[in-house]
Amino acid sequence: MKNLDPARLLPTDPESQKIAQELYDDISALPIISPHGHTDPAWFSQDLPFPDPAQLFVTPDHYVFRMLFSQGISLDALGIPRADGRAVESDGRAIWRLFARHYYLFRATPSRLWIDHALSDVFGVTDTLSTDTADAIYDHVADCLAQPEYLPRALFDRFGIEALATTDSALSSLSDHAAIKNDAWDGRVIPTYRPDSVIDPDAQDFAANLATFADLTGEDTEDWRGYLNAHRKRRLFFKQLGATATDHGHPTPETADLTPKDAADLFHKVRSGDGSAQDHALFRAQMLTEMAGMSVDDGLVMQVHPGSNRNHADAIFRQYGPDKGFDIPRAVDFTRALHPLLNRYGLDPNLTLIIFTLDETTYARELAPMAGVYPALRIGPAWWFFDSPEGMRRYREATTETAGFYNTVGFNDDTRAFCSIPARHDVARRVDCAYLAWLVASGRLNMSDAAEVAYDLTYRLPKQAYKL
Amino acid sequence: MKNLDPARLLPTDPESQKIAQELYDDISALPIISPHGHTDPAWFSQDLPFPDPAQLFVTPDHYVFRMLFSQGISLDALGIPRADGRAVESDGRAIWRLFARHYYLFRATPSRLWIDHALSDVFGVTDTLSTDTADAIYDHVADCLAQPEYLPRALFDRFGIEALATTDSALSSLSDHAAIKNDAWDGRVIPTYRPDSVIDPDAQDFAANLATFADLTGEDTEDWRGYLNAHRKRRLFFKQLGATATDHGHPTPETADLTPKDAADLFHKVRSGDGSAQDHALFRAQMLTEMAGMSVDDGLVMQVHPGSNRNHADAIFRQYGPDKGFDIPRAVDFTRALHPLLNRYGLDPNLTLIIFTLDETTYARELAPMAGVYPALRIGPAWWFFDSPEGMRRYREATTETAGFYNTVGFNDDTRAFCSIPARHDVARRVDCAYLAWLVASGRLNMSDAAEVAYDLTYRLPKQAYKL
Amino acid sequence: MKNLDPARLLPTDPESQKIAQELYDDISALPIISPHGHTDPAWFSQDLPFPDPAQLFVTPDHYVFRMLFSQGISLDALGIPRADGRAVESDGRAIWRLFARHYYLFRATPSRLWIDHALSDVFGVTDTLSTDTADAIYDHVADCLAQPEYLPRALFDRFGIEALATTDSALSSLSDHAAIKNDAWDGRVIPTYRPDSVIDPDAQDFAANLATFADLTGEDTEDWRGYLNAHRKRRLFFKQLGATATDHGHPTPETADLTPKDAADLFHKVRSGDGSAQDHALFRAQMLTEMAGMSVDDGLVMQVHPGSNRNHADAIFRQYGPDKGFDIPRAVDFTRALHPLLNRYGLDPNLTLIIFTLDETTYARELAPMAGVYPALRIGPAWWFFDSPEGMRRYREATTETAGFYNTVGFNDDTRAFCSIPARHDVARRVDCAYLAWLVASGRLNMSDAAEVAYDLTYRLPKQAYKL
């Protein structure tokens, strides 16, 4: 395991490292709670082998292919499918070699940490990936994938996952989740209600989505009350299949609190296609408050992650579609934007609202001050580009003093890359222990408190916050 | 003193810690200069015992009760008075037990550091606060409070306070300050001119406040020139009772520099209640520049702390009033906003303008570049949510390289919690020494310079900046 | 060399320091690549002695005199020339003494690091500058300057500069560069195309500049196409004298992508003086995209550094002109602003667009995410107020995890202070090695990779990015 320093990410001065190691040893083997992610439920319902190393590590992971693309490697050569179905590289080994040749680009990135960890711990690879080792590692991983102990359910069990939530369109049949539930396998894989496609008037095929939404629920989604009822029914359906949360990926954190009449009028305007860009934004804003109200009623935990300018390069979106690494963050203003929603529901003990941000300046300035006083509000972990050692460290340093540990919700991996799940949780555990050790070493926390906090951040808080 | 590591907040590597300890030992016992805070001058004029431990540590400190509230504990149960006078918990022991039971929420927060320090150093408590120790500590502190050496003046002397400024409404009679001045006690407690209630047209009872302002000064405050003269007279009155500074808590840092005629017209508009929200904002902006002009004339140091969205939760404001922990920061733009004021007075050697921020992104981007060149401008210390070890470290790291140490003004505690004053100053001294030690250890500052800087930051700079 | 700790800026814990020292020893003597700066090409074409110590260290360096000014020292006393030619202090020794007396103001600033390094390494001064040592150091430096080994070319060679780019107006004759090129001296000093004065309608004498632009190129700069051709010709002229890059100092990062007809109409409006402030801004925005298009054609690397509010104090600008330390940064929004340009050219392999920022919040939020995916985009180093140890550390910590090392371009010194060039590059090398050592010590990078990265950041990346 040449690639993995056993003390990696822990403090480097001996005394602090010792403290961190002790904290880490206590919690490193705790079960994984994965309350937010993007793995495919079909993996677990069907339990078929993963195809090949490139399709496991490269093509599904936009963190990986965006970096390669930034240095001039074409998406075609990396096997990223074209929207029009035109042929792209389909030879896994060729893709893998290209990846291996440029592996130096990932130095000091979290991708490198995760991939080294997965190759080493999941597949037992002891060499560093490079041009020289590419073929041997490819063959080894491919061999593994053909074996039963590398099937999705076997890995799920081996990774020690206690619960894993996927993210699912409000229009999904959830057939895989139903199959998992009805199967003898006892792995807990649950859906999350993600209604963006029936909430955002700018979504592709919004009108058609509303029609499907009506079909699925038997509600008249051309009527404001029917539309809201459709949400209520689908939320219940998700809940019956295990869901404990909703997830909302809006361009901004704007919320609104219109009168029922104004909200109904706005709905009819945007539904009929007569809405301006401002109307669309206002509708999204109003719907966050509606969703909060439904969470008060049905108990689903509400997650919001705003502030990404999606599909920044028009040409890439046209040729390859969404999720190609071109979602770029922008500054946001939570203090003003969340005011309508918080004013309506922020003091309600039945609401748990978890906010994620891609604008780190809001941690200390806005989110920690708000989460440190509003009972409904919790700060989601550092994520996306900040799901990284430095990102996590900045997160703790910026939020703890104002919001404490207990207004945060533990880690989530948010990933499509299944084999990176243990690696990602391990990084979070190490960085949290490093932070706690620093607090202990500098006399700000005693050791027994630190040990309890380490346990809480790893295990108790995500279970509690997500009602798992 | 189990709770207090003697090397707390100093660097953890042995060499740097030794340097920091040496710097700290030299300045740890220096007198406290407290040029900005919110203690009650009546404490010092009347010198009566503090009522009970809960009323000393919990109810007056919104840092404390906001955290408890964020985890679902009601303000009523914490004894926070209702605006309508409805009964709330009044049993100090019950409040204290509730606080003790949830003391774990404060792990790694500055509140925890301050309270541990106050309990230990001021009251000699050796146990950690918890459910088990709550009653014993309550009894012990209550006993202390009944003794003469725990009266306000005795504590003031014991804390080594050389000067302490309170913050007082422009409409205050300053009767307590007059009483202190005329008393044999030699403690230096001085007022600060805070005119928000007669400057901000959005202030409650603005018209009535202007009428009172007229009564107090004999000026016609319905006239622009009379209104300005009323300020001049009140500033002089404050100055005669020892004030050396003014303080301005505006929603934004906007300043303006209108012609006298436009300013007069604007005043009449907002005074008569005909002003729009923009007019109100412009009037506040103009008044900052007017206040700067008066500071040039009368020498009062001017403090501005903008950028808080006050009373974010309407329901809390309605039920409990202001200062309940719901003041939430927002992003500000000092570079543009301060331009009118600085362009008018920023080069004037008679002006000292101290700017505080709740938006840390402005330290390195705006405040340090401006304070590093404008003779009138100084950067106030890290405060509010950033009056914390990490907040202070970020402050020094972000401001020193561009503005140096000598365009900053030392620490201020800004507190209503009297017993936390020594703790807060001690934290600042430790964090500054830790920062200086890191500069010494990394070859950026020599030891004798560091020692001089430590003294300056602790003692010389606040005295000089505030003319104390 | 009392002033220079040999391990300065390296980590303070022994293990990390050892790693950093090893990395630094390997790259400390590499040649200096200086692809962006403001030295005077006449120094190298004429090779005359520098006049006196004050004119070498104080009067040309606005980092130095702005700090002195911030503490009440007049620009006149520092010998800063008045716009109207009125007499200012001209006695170098008097200026030097004033500087020495206030040298304590620079404690822990990069200016102090650079000046200590230059005095020590370039001039062999062993004492710290102070009132006591001012005269002796002045005399010693003045003596040195009279000797041939302190002539500009001799210093250039001694500093180990492999290539140095100046910044030159689009209207410059480049006569000094031509003289250098035609001279036997083999130092590589090249120009950079800086066309702000013929692009920004708000520039002083914009109309007259366009007339000169026409004279220099034989193009009709009253016509949109002629105007663009004039740029093409001047770019070629610069390229023929060695230029490899352009540089653009816009107030904001706004870009636009108008139709040719709209662009031509806009040009005629702003050229004729009929443009509004918005028109001027839109024209600057359009011209960035035009410049990117020309870079695709002629291969010149494009540098953009937006976000400074220039000449913030009107009185100083009126009395002393630009570049007097009153350029103050503001927040910028790259994600939105660069979209038009990137959408047009961001995927083009022939474009290299290097973005600099004065708003550090954009590193992790915007620039690293964009540079980590757009092939044309690179992140320029920390600069201006952030060309400092803490600034560089924050830069690496905020950009590396998302953009890696290979979407950055190494260091540039951006200086007018010739003797500070070795000092500035040395600081950058030390801080990068400290950062790499921390990655190695915490198990995130292995030693051989770190050594390769140190070499790349110091030498290979700037050569490659700037095509030197």
Q: Can you spell out the DSSP letters for C112-176?
A: HHHHHHIIIIIT---SPPSTTTHHHHHHHHHHHHTSGGGSHHHHHHHTTEEEEE--EETT---HH
CA-nearest residue to A106 within chain C is C404
| Per-residue pLDDT, B9 | 98
In this predicted structure, the answer to whether residue C159 has a pLDDT above a threshold of 50 is yes
DSSP label at C276? -
Measured between CB atoms, which of B333, B365, B442 is closest to C8?
Answer: B442
Torsion on CA atoms A217, A220, A225, A231, rounded to nearest 10: 20
CB pairs under 8 A between B and C: 130
Q: What would the mean pLDDT of C257-266 be, rounded to a whole number?
A: 98
Measured in angstroms, the CA of C327 and the nearest CA of chain B are apart by 8
How buried is residue A149: exposed, middle or buried, by Cβ count under 10 Å (0-12/13-18/19+)?
exposed
> CA separation (Å) from B312 to A303, B318, B321, B325?
21, 11, 11, 9
B397/C108 Cβ within 8 A: no
Parse chain C into domains and list their residue ranges. 14-50+151-465, 51-150
H-only helix segments in C12-61: 14-27, 41-46, 53-57
C312 close contact with B: CB closer than 8 A? yes
B15 close contact with A: CB closer than 8 A? no
A444/B331 Cβ within 8 A: no
Cβ contacts (< 8 Å) between C443 and chain A: which residues? 4-5, 7-9
Cβ contacts (< 8 Å) between C349 and chain A: which residues? 72
Cβ contacts (< 8 Å) between B336 and chain C: which residues? 309, 330
Query: What are the tens digits of pLDDT across the range A261-317?
Result: 999 999 999 999 999 999 999 999 999 999 999 999 999 999 999 999 999 999 999
A333 close contact with B: CB closer than 8 A? yes
In this predicted structure, the answer to whether residue C2 has a pLDDT above a threshold of 90 is no
Query: What are the tens digits of pLDDT across the range B182-208?
Result: 999 999 999 999 999 999 999 999 999
**Which of C70, C111, C115, C359 would best serve as a mutation to test chain B binding (most B beta carbons within 10 A)?**
C70
- At the topology level, CATH places domain B14-50+151-465 in TIM Barrel (3.20.20)
With H, G, I as helix, E, B as strand and everything else as coil, classify residue A308.
strand
A360 close contact with C: CB closer than 8 A? yes
Q: Which helix H or strand E contains B442, and what residues bound it?
A: none
- Computed over every residue of chain A, the mean pLDDT equals 97
In this predicted structure, the answer to whether residue C22 has a pLDDT above a threshold of 80 is yes
What CATH number should be reported for the domain whose range is B51-150? Answer: 1.10.2020.10
B309 close contact with A: CB closer than 8 A? yes
| Per-residue pLDDT, A1 | 38
Cβ contacts (< 8 Å) between B359 and chain C: which residues? none
Type of residue at B296: V
**Which of A328, A357, A387, A435 would best serve as a mutation to test chain C binding (most C beta carbons within 10 A)?**
A328
C397 close contact with B: CB closer than 8 A? no
Residues C415 and C381 sit within 8 Å (Cβ to Cβ): no
Cβ contacts (< 8 Å) between C9 and chain B: which residues? 442-444
| Per-residue pLDDT, C1 | 39
Dist CA C431 CA C454 (whole Å): 10
Q: Which CATH architecture has domain A14-48+151-465?
A: Alpha-Beta Barrel (3.20)
Dist CA A175 CA A177 (whole Å): 5
H-only helix segments in A299-388: 314-320, 334-337, 339-345, 361-362, 368-371
Chain B, residues 18-77, CB within 8 A of chain A, namely: 66-67, 69-72
Dist CA A465 CA A354 (whole Å): 9
The angle that helices A389-403 and A421-441 make with each other, rounded to 10 degrees, is 50
| Per-residue pLDDT, C4 | 86
H-only helix segments in B183-276: 196-199, 206-217, 224-240, 260-271
Residues of chain B whose pLDDT is less than 50?
Answer: 1
Chain C, residues 223-252, CB within 8 A of chain A, namely: none
Query: What are the tens digits of pLDDT across the range C344-354?
Result: 999 999 999 99
With H, G, I as helix, E, B as strand and everything else as coil, classify residue B18.
helix
Out of 3.40.50.360, 1.10.2020.10, 1.10.10.10, 3.40.190.10, the CATH code matching A49-150 is 1.10.2020.10
With H, G, I as helix, E, B as strand and everything else as coil, classify residue A374.
coil
Measured in angstroms, the CA of C446 and the nearest CA of chain B are apart by 23
B105 close contact with A: CB closer than 8 A? yes
Residues 6+ apart with CB under 8 A from B274: none
Interface predicted TM-score of the whole assembly (ipTM), two decimals: 0.97
Query: What are the tens digits of pLDDT across the range A369-405?
Result: 999 999 999 999 999 999 999 999 999 999 999 999 9
Measured in angstroms, the CA of B452 and the nearest CA of chain C are apart by 10
Residues C391 and C385 sit within 8 Å (Cβ to Cβ): yes
B374/C108 Cβ within 8 A: no
Chain C, residues 127-146, CB within 8 A of chain B, namely: 128
In this predicted structure, the answer to whether residue C3 has a pLDDT above a threshold of 70 is no
The strand order across the sheet containing B161-165 reads B32-34, B161-165, B189-190
Strand partners, C169: C194
A10 close contact with C: CB closer than 8 A? yes
Measured between CB atoms, which of C13, C339, C366 is closest to A329?
Answer: C366
